[in-house]
Amino acid sequence: MRIDVVSIFPEYLEGLRLSLIGKAIDQGLLELGVHDLRAFTVDRHRTVDDTPYGGGAGMVMKAEPWALALERILDAAAAPGSLAPRDRLGEADEAAPADEAAAADAETADAVTAAGKPVLIVPSPAGPVFDQRTAEELAHADHLVFACGRYEGIDQRVLDWAQERFECRPMSIGDYVLNGGEVASMVMIEAVTRLIPGVIGNPESLAEESHEDGLLEYPIYTKPASWRGHEVPEVLLSGNHQAIARWRRDRRLERTAEVRPDLLARLDDLDRGDREALD
Ligand SMILES: NC(=O)c1ccno1
């Protein structure tokens, strides 16, 4: 999978180079490109925003820099290797002069869309809410592009224009407002990439996680068995795997019923043991 992120704060995305995602990049499981939107501005002030038509507070991100940045990413996708798999963060792309970029990209963009459209994700509180199902779906994509808006957002015409070239997906990580799309993009990138085979060392650790099957995860413990007067539940020390599995399932059902009854209501595969645990 290749992931490209466009932002006016590329250094924000530096955290993606750490830990498991950074290791996945080094292992070639993942390519990550981070692009500074200001590298695609077309004036000496490197302007990315302007006042909103129709009036109102705040500023709106201008369309042209976004189009040039997205065309550059499409161009690179059509010519693998033209973007280093591990772009150095903050290194501004050298945008070709607008007329050359536009001509070259118009041709290559068609090539990419013919081979399947990259998914353009635009973090926004106005989008459908991203959840584990969304993460599982996006984990199968070949190419994800994240457009990190700032200020009041991106000129709507960018999304309208991008429809021909990308599968455009406004996406919210929750019912609250952030100052920009960078943090939301990092949340989604982490939730998606950890599902790519090989990224998490032991795939079994993905099983029985919260939301993997509609239930929240069970409480977990490690040594010592007794800690400041708090004991590990006896069953977990018993070695009785069947009893341990039942205990864990019961705790997942209880926790889900207590914390997220809305999730429990969606389940249609509860067995008799499950229902006894919930009674
Ligand atoms: N809730 C969100 O995903 C979001 C993205 C940008 N601002 O808020």
Answer yes or no: is the C-beta of 125 below 6 A from any ligand 1 atom. yes
Provide the pLDDT confidence category of residue 107 given band limits of 50, 70 and 90.
very low
| pLDDT given for residue 212 in this prediction | 81
- Residue among 163, 105, 116 nearest 143 (CA): 116
Answer yes or no: is the C-beta of 124 below 6 A from any ligand 1 atom. yes
Ligand 1 centroid from CA 35, angstroms? 20
Nearest atom within ligand 1 for CA of residue 130: 3
- The residue whose CA has the least distance to atom 1 of ligand 1 is 125
Answer yes or no: is the C-beta of 172 below 6 A from any ligand 1 atom. yes
| pLDDT given for residue 104 in this prediction | 44
Ligand 1 centroid from CA 176, angstroms? 6
Ligand 1 site-directed mutation target among 7, 8, 150, 173, most atoms within 8 Å of CB = 173
| pLDDT given for residue 83 in this prediction | 54
pLDDT at 264 over 60: yes
| pLDDT given for residue 82 in this prediction | 58
Name which residue leads in pLDDT, 78 or 136: 136
Ligand 1 centroid from CA 174, angstroms? 7
Calculate mean pLDDT across residues 190-197: 96
Calculate mean pLDDT across residues 64-73: 98
- The residue whose CA has the least distance to atom 7 of ligand 1 is 178
| pLDDT given for residue 63 in this prediction | 98
Ligand 1 centroid from CA 220, angstroms? 31
Its ipTM equals 0.97
Provide the pLDDT confidence category of residue 159 given band limits of 50, 70 and 90.
very high
Ligand 1 centroid from CA 256, angstroms? 26
| pLDDT given for residue 45 in this prediction | 97
Per-position DSSP letters for the chain, written without gaps between them: -EEEEEES-GGGGGGGGSHHHHHHHHTTS-EEEEEEGGGG--STT---EEPPTT--SS-EE-HHHHHHHHHHHHHHHHSTTSS-TBPPTT----PPPHHHHHHHHHHHHHHHHHT-PPEEEEE-TTSPBP-HHHHHHHTT-SEEEEE---TT-B-HHHHHHHTTTSEEEEEBSSSS--SSSHHHHHHHHHHHHTTSTTTSS-GGGGTT-TTTSSSPPPP---S-SEETTEEPPGGGGS--HHHHHHHHHHHHHHHHHHH-HHHHHH-----HHHHHHH-
- The residue whose CA has the least distance to atom 3 of ligand 1 is 172
Provide the pLDDT confidence category of residue 93 given band limits of 50, 70 and 90.
very low
* Contacting residues for 7 by C-beta, under 8 A, at least 6 apart: 13, 34, 35, 36, 37, 148, 180, 181, 182, 185
- pLDDT tens digits, 214-262: 899 999 999 999 999 999 999 999 999 999 999 999 999 999 999 999 9
- pLDDT tens digits, 30-42: 999 999 999 999 8
Answer yes or no: is the C-beta of 60 below 6 A from any ligand 1 atom. no
Average pLDDT, the chain: 88
| pLDDT given for residue 268 in this prediction | 82
Provide the pLDDT confidence category of residue 79 given band limits of 50, 70 and 90.
confident
